[in-house]
Amino acid sequence: MMQHHRPHPDFLRRFVPTPYIFNVSKGKQCACVQSNNLEVALSVRRSYMLQPSEAWGTVLLCKLIRDVAAPGGGSEVSVVESGPLRVLHMGRGTILVYDRARSELFGFLSHEVDTVQLVTSLIPTVVGYETAKSGTSNT
């Protein structure tokens, strides 16, 4: 008897294609920026090239998904850290996860998050650059 294969829905959107891929290098450090949104990919690439190396920590892979279906609303930022993971949550539709052990930054961005806020505030916060600069902790 033949079984019909029904694909399970990907509610976590783990398999969203990221056609915009840029490899960037700064000194001896190289990173890969991937996104499903060209503006996000270009902004992150540009920021990576222009910011001090410590602003990006040791991010070797940065995969960001612009989720136009994410709920909007809210601008409160919270950061939770556990072991090698640091998670930033903003509002109802944005989440960034930085894995220090794997040197990866992964996240979903609400349609309300602009690229300036992403590269000047959210990414530095989740990789711990703002914490290191100010000498305080967000956890």
Could you report the per-residue pLDDT of 7-39, keeping only the tens digit for each?
Answer: 655 555 567 899 999 999 887 788 999 999 999
Domain, as residue range, for 55: 20-134
Total domains in the chain come to: 1
Asked if the structure places residue 14 within a domain, the reply is no
Query: How does residue 136 score in pLDDT terms, banded at 50, 70 and 90?
Result: very low
Which residue is associated with the tokens 């998670």?
Answer: 87
Number of C-beta neighbours around residue 64 at 10 A: 27
For 130, the 3-state DSSP assignment is: helix
Asked if the structure places residue 104 within a domain, the reply is yes
In this prediction, residue 105 carries a pLDDT of: 96
Asked if the structure places residue 84 within a domain, the reply is yes
Asked if the structure places residue 4 within a domain, the reply is no
Give the pTM. Answer: 0.82
For residue 133, what are the CA distances in angstroms to 52, 55, 61, 75, 98? 12, 9, 23, 23, 18
Could you report the per-residue pLDDT of 68-119, keeping only the tens digit for each?
Answer: 888 888 889 999 999 999 999 999 899 999 999 999 999 999 999 999 999 9
